[in-house]
Amino acid sequence: MAFVYDLFDEANALAKSGDDQGAVAGFASLAEGLAETTGVRATKLAGAALYNMGNALSRLGRLDNAIRAYDHAVARVDRLTDLNTQLLIAVALVNKGICLRDLGHYEQAIDVFVRIVALFNDHAQPAFRQQVAMAHFNVGLTYDLLGSRQDEIRAYDQTVKHLGRVNGRLADELIAKALVTKGIALNQLDRIDEAIRMYDVVVSRFGRRRGQVFREKVAVALYNKGVSLGRLERIDDQLDAYEQALDRFDALDSTDVQVLVAKAGVGKGDTLVRLGLTTDALNAYTAVVERFSGRDDVRLRRSVGEAAAARMNLLWGSK
């Protein structure tokens, strides 16, 4: 049996090195070799191989094949009741649901996520509660694609509720994602005051947390808070939200954060124009150009272009 574990480790090493094609071949060969075995250890290893094969296929964009691998993994181990195997089933089903959604099979994806909740909702262990919360969160993302905002919001509420007794970074990251995405959904329903309160919760709860996910979600919250305040004509508060985004983040943050900061800078300039503060607006646009020029990301280049064009229009208009 030892050589079989060596084969698993070799395929796993290929996956970790980025050779997903080689990993798929390795895991497939291992699973095929264990197809007729019935022992518990061999069954668990076969299930793990099929699960990892699904992950590698997903990374390769071969989503239909990934779904089949996840199905085979679940079928291979579904008679086993130990916690580690049950957790593998939960994660495999979450990944299957995500693949279905990415393929545009929204209703089927929701069915899979609902199945996860039904199977594992009563598990008290944090790892299972997190997978159930992941299922709720992905239901919300799927309802977003379907345009069903009320169902989307309910799913995010269930995400946060299910993680209420779970500690740890991963749980907190998922809560931050659920809250900020709920705020965006509320804004789309024109429940703007509620959306702003949700953004405030994100900033208050996670504003001091380190880590890329927290900083990205706080940036999303501040930028969208500024946009929402503008819709309510609360211009001074809108400027304050944009300025918080500009001051809070720096060049060490991720590109996604930089994109939001640049948009906040352009938004600040636009708001100052509305107030008739031409000099301040020129300074805001110039700051965006100076801070983000030379970046390769197309979104940053777009914001720099918008700031430069707005600055030029103001200069020409003042002559």
- The tokens describing 33, both together, are 């070799």
Residue 2 reports pLDDT greater than 80: no
pTM value? 0.91
Using alpha carbons, select from 180, 174, 266, 268 the residue that is nearest to residue 220: 180
pLDDT in tens, 44-79: 999 999 999 999 999 999 999 999 999 999 999 999
pLDDT in tens, 291-303: 999 899 999 999 9
Mean pLDDT (the chain) is 94
At 25 the pLDDT is 94
pLDDT in tens, 251-283: 889 999 999 999 999 999 999 999 999 999 999
Give the distance from CA 309 to its chain's centroid: 33
Q: For residues 37-45, give the mean pLDDT.
A: 88
At 223 the pLDDT is 98
State how far the Cα of 171 lies from the Cα of 206, in Å rounded to an integer: 12
Q: How far apart are the first and last CA of the chain?
A: 83
C-alpha radius of gyration, the chain, whole number? 24
CB-based contact 289:301 (threshold 8 Å)? no
